Amino acid sequence: MCMWTPLTAKVLGERVRARRLDLRLSRRALGERAGLSENQIYLIEAGRGSNVEPSGMSNPKASSIFAIAEALWMDPADLLIALTRPGGASMEQAFVAERTQEIESLREY
């Protein structure tokens, strides 16, 4: 089961930004195509929520994800598939594994 966390919000944002840049679109142009504001696109790409989001992380509505995907000529599933890594490890599991390796390497000093 994939839970929505700050890490998954960040990964989704990175996927949106990468595809937007591949298509050479500005945030404003993507927002216009998706029916969202430039600021909404910025917040999603940054993995941040608006000031009213209690969690502080981006948590876009499904309709926003679908609109962004359509504007980027993608299937919404392709945006969300970025939330897992090859081999089935979730981004969260991979993040924990990477941080564990960093801690272990610091202990070696």
55-75: average pLDDT: 86
- pLDDT by residue (tens digit) across 13-53? 988 999 999 999 999 999 999 999 999 999 999 988 765 55
pLDDT at site 47: 87
Q: Which of 5-14, 19-28, 52-61 has the least mean pLDDT?
A: 52-61
Report the percent of the chain where pLDDT is more than 90.
36
DSSP state of 81: G
- Terminal Cα distance for the chain, rounded: 37
Nearest alpha-carbon partner for 9 in 45, 35, 63: 45
Domains of the chain: 6-83 (1.10.260.40)
The answer to whether 25 and 74 have CB atoms below 8 angstroms apart is no
On the question of pLDDT at 60 being above 60, the answer is: yes
